[in-house]
């Protein structure tokens, strides 16, 4: 057996997420995070599963995923998540995409179908530019294509307990207007950050927690905006590149954020 290794980058919550109209699907625009990823290694030997950083996927589910993907479970699999499970950083989807790729799946549509069959919902992390998709997370399909993100710098962390996604949960605010505004604001980082802040505020107003400090941290440190994992604990402050204040990291720690994460993303 040939050794194989796969790395799948996660995300840091969503820039926008909610219902596309009262009876529409739950849709999202993801915030890609190259700094956090799941790695999967396939090594020679009898089938075994090692998850040294904590369980991301149950052993029985790994067997089933490999079988569904057309590969008999064999070899030693080492699965490591560089982000907390339930944090809204895409650990579950990234792990399943990694396993699907180890099994030989390559087409994003096939990997999305595998994730959907396993969990009932997914993030668009199987696509090369997931932030350019309006993604129906409970359907595993692309609703629309979006312009590239402008360059931005993110400072964030995880606030509160893990909150795993429930695929049956559709209690989200409507965001059709925000998606329309997003298209109009293409390339304008300040406008996009304001839209992300609106989506985050709608989510917290509906779902809590009521005492979330992210908006105040963004105001205090001059961020262009802020975003949240709409079903997780990831929280992000959005800055233009190079504009993160030195004092912000310590302030996030004092506010109760863990796993402080800083990264850049965007294309234009």
Q: Give ∠ CA 33-66-4 in degrees, rounded to 5.
A: 60
Strands (E), the chain: 4-19, 26-43, 48-50, 76-81, 133-136, 141-145, 152-158, 225-228, 234-239, 258-265
156 and 98 housed in the same domain:
no
Contact 237, 251 (CB under 8 A): no
Torsion of CA 92, 97, 102, 104, to 10 degrees: 150
* Sign of the four-CA dihedral 254, 209, 239, 154: positive
Question: In the chain, which residues have pLDDT < 70?
Answer: 1, 268
- Predicted confidence at residue 1, as pLDDT, reads 60
What is the rounded distance in angstroms from the CA atom of residue 69 to the CA atom of residue 141? 19
Please state the φ and ψ torsions of residue 132, each to the nearest 5 degrees.
-95, 15
Q: How far is CA 156 from CA 11, 130, 240, 255, in A?
A: 12, 20, 14, 11
What is the rounded distance in angstroms from the CA atom of residue 9 to the CA atom of residue 82? 9
- Predicted confidence at residue 164, as pLDDT, reads 83
- Predicted confidence at residue 71, as pLDDT, reads 79
Tokens of 136: 């129906």
- Predicted confidence at residue 86, as pLDDT, reads 93
Residue 197 lies in domain:
147-265
Number of domains in the chain: 2
Could you tell me the CATH number of the domain that includes residue 57?
3.30.230.10
Could you tell me the CATH number of the domain that includes residue 191?
3.30.70.890
88 and 183 housed in the same domain:
no
- Predicted confidence at residue 5, as pLDDT, reads 95
pTM: 0.95
92 and 181 housed in the same domain:
no
């Amino acid at each position: 057996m040939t050794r194989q290794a796969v790395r799948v980058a996660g995300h840091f919550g969503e820039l926008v997420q909610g219902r596309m109209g009262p009876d529409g699907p739950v849709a999202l625009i993801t915030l890609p995070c190259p700094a956090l990823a799941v790695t999967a290694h396939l090594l020679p030997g009898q089938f075994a599963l090692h998850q040294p950083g904590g369980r991301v996927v149950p052993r029985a589910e790994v067997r089933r995923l490999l079988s569904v993907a057309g590969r008999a479970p064999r070899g030693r699999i080492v699965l490591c998540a560089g982000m907390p499970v339930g944090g809204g950083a895409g650990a579950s989807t990234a792990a399943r995409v990694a396993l699907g790729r180890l099994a030989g799946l390559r087409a994003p549509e096939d990997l999305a179908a595998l994730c959907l069959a396993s969990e009932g919902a997914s993030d668009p992390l199987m696509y090369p530019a997931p932030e350019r998709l309006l993604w129906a997370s409970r359907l595993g399909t692309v609703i629309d294509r979006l312009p590239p993100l402008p360059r931005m710098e993110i400072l964030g962390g995880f606030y509160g307990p893990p909150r795993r996604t429930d695929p049956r949960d559709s209690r989200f605010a409507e965001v059709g207007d925000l998606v329309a505004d997003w298209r109009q604001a293409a390339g304008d980082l300040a406008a996009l950050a304001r839209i992300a802040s609106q989506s985050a505020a709608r989510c917290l107003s509906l779902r809590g927690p009521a005492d979330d400090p992210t908006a105040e941290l963004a105001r205090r440190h001059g961020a262009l905006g802020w975003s949240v994992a709409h079903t997780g604990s990831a929280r992000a402050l959005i800055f233009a590149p190079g504009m993160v204040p030195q004092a912000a990291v310590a302030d996030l720690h004092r506010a109760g954020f863990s796993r402080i994460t800083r990264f850049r993303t965007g294309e234009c």
